[in-house]
Amino acid sequence: MKMTKNFYQHIKVKSIFVFFLATLLFFDANAQSDEIALEQALFNLPDVTFKKISDPGDPYLKYELIIRQPLDHHDPSSKFYYQHVILTHRGFDRPAVMNINGYEIYKAKNEIVEVLHANELNIEYRYFGESVPETFQWKYLNYDQVSNDLHRINQMFRTLYAGKWISTGISRGGQTTIIYRYFFPQDVDIAIPYVAPMNKSLEDKRIYAFLDTMGSTECRKRIYEFQVNLLKNEPEMLEKLKWYARGKNIQFNYLGSLGKAFEYAVLEYPFSFWQVGYTPCDKIPENKPEDVMLDHLLQIVDLDFYSDKTMTGFAVHYYQNMTEGGYYGYNAAPFKKYLHYIKEPEPSATFPPKSESYKPFDSSLMDKILAWLDKKGNNFIYVYGGRDTWSACRVSVSSLVNSRLYMIPGANHYEARVINMTPAMQKDFEGALNKMLGVKADLSVLNSF
């Protein structure tokens, strides 16, 4: 029998197909084996219920977890609440990442999970989203209890994942990542907080210094004049905003009035312009019609932020800032003669629930954490944005620790990510991560984000 070229090609194609099929079967068998073992392990965990949410054909196993947590970790007889977590399983031999949210669960891809090809525990913050007790007991909303929530999850899942452990979070989640490691420094091998402010007071003055020096003199002047023009024409602006609020069906009873919300939005403008805005300074409207001025303001500062619904949803955030986390305020003195609803010289940007009583702000915990970071805060990699206002309250890495800080030039709060680092900075970040963790990271996967 003559073996033609086509015949050999047929044999080659068939061999490739058989190899591909065998590979699929191998990985499918492994996936099935992992699924059985994983579900048995989850079943054996105390106070954990789970539901598989991955679909057939998904590359990884994914489960929605509900974890019964005590409201007071220091009192076994206290009531409980149910904390929501999403587990993505890639292999028992892979590292485990605690993706710590500062609010409800954020379901987008996580850079650190991807570059380490890691398992992920995506953890919702106490009292946010679906992780809310039947009855709010505000005294249990503190960083001690939050950190104990995370520690308990860590200790549970160490029985499944014996490899390296990493914690990470963005913004308030990044702040919580730092604070959690202060309480339980041995829980993870490395912590990677993004754009995480560590405030030193209820109205951290470093914010004022940032806003007074950010950008050029001309840019800061343009920002100020834009604010003044808005306030000078407040009656006309409020008439237009009444239609805006009516169309969106939003009210401002929590804050007090639409007028107060407008004035807060104007005072907030410089903070948000640098924190989350993308507008170049020369595009800030000057002597434009009222509609143009308002449109620009609302592009930078969403008025919905001051609505009853949003304020109520963020009451947890404000309460914790008001008591122990700190925050920022506004220097209203340059606008005093234009303000009709806000009378404080330095009004706070925190809006805690008025119906609740709470202790006055105490900086002692943050002071202790910052001192600890200076002396013992090893194996942290901090990521900040050069344009982000919250970078004013960044951690300062001392020479006594091996931690690294990466300030991404021109990046705002949402852009300060590894994917937006320069190639040289990415290479350095990758080297630091590999050295601290002892597990090779693959930053090339970020090209598919």
Do residues 327 and 386 both lie within one domain? no
Q: At what angle do helices 258-275 and 234-248 cross, to 10 degrees?
A: 90
Residue 315 structural domain: 206-338
pTM of structure: 0.91
Do residues 168 and 235 both lie within one domain? no
Do residues 85 and 105 both lie within one domain? yes
Q: What is the pLDDT, as a whole number, of residue 31?
A: 57
Contact between 120 and 88 (Cβ < 8 Å): yes
Rounded to whole angstroms, the Cα distance separating 94 from 163 reads 7
Q: What is the helix (H) or strand (E) element at residue 166, kind and residue range?
A: strand 165-170
Contact between 125 and 98 (Cβ < 8 Å): no
At 158, which amino acid appears? R
Within-domain flag for 36? no
Number of structural domains, the chain? 2
Q: What is the pLDDT, as a whole number, of residue 355?
A: 75
* Chosen domain end from 338, 359, 384: 338
Within-domain flag for 406? yes
Q: What is the pLDDT, as a whole number, of residue 76?
A: 84
Do residues 333 and 374 both lie within one domain? no
376 contacts: CB under 8 Å, gap ≥ 6: 185, 401
Strand order in the sheet with 80-89: 48-52, 61-70, 80-89, 119-123, 96-100, 165-170, 190-194, 381-385, 404-408
Q: What is the pLDDT, as a whole number, of residue 7?
A: 32
For the CA atoms of 442, 443, 448, 449, what is the dihedral angle to 10 degrees? 120
Q: What is the pLDDT, as a whole number, of residue 17?
A: 38
363 contacts: CB under 8 Å, gap ≥ 6: 200, 201, 324, 326
Do residues 285 and 330 both lie within one domain? yes
CATH number of the domain to which 114 belongs: 3.40.50.1820
Beta strands 48-52; 61-70: pairing state: antiparallel
- For residue 233, report the phi and psi dihedrals to the nearest 5 degrees: -110, 35
pLDDT tens digits, the chain, 449 residues: what are they?
333 334 334 434 334 333 333 344 344 545 567 999 999 999 999 999 999 999 888 899 999 999 999 999 999 899 999 999 999 999 999 999 999 999 999 999 999 999 999 999 999 999 999 999 998 899 999 999 999 999 999 999 999 999 999 999 999 999 999 999 999 999 999 999 999 999 999 999 999 999 999 999 999 999 999 999 999 999 999 999 999 999 999 999 999 999 999 999 999 999 999 999 889 999 999 988 999 999 999 999 999 999 999 999 999 999 999 999 999 999 999 999 999 999 998 899 999 887 777 888 999 999 999 999 999 999 999 999 999 999 999 999 999 999 999 999 999 999 999 999 999 999 999 999 999 999 999 999 998 88
Q: Residue 434 is encoded by which pair of tokens?
A: 């590999």
Q: What is the pLDDT, as a whole number, of residue 26?
A: 42
Within-domain flag for 30? no
Within-domain flag for 69? yes
Do residues 280 and 223 both lie within one domain? yes
Contact between 196 and 382 (Cβ < 8 Å): yes
Q: Residue 185 is encoded by which pair of tokens?
A: 């420094």
Do residues 83 and 181 both lie within one domain? yes
Q: Residue 347 is encoded by which pair of tokens?
A: 């009004």
Q: What is the pLDDT, as a whole number, of residue 30?
A: 56
Kindly report the number of other CB atoms within 10 A of residue 355's CB atom: 6
Kindly report the number of other CB atoms within 10 A of residue 374's CB atom: 15
Contact between 355 and 343 (Cβ < 8 Å): no
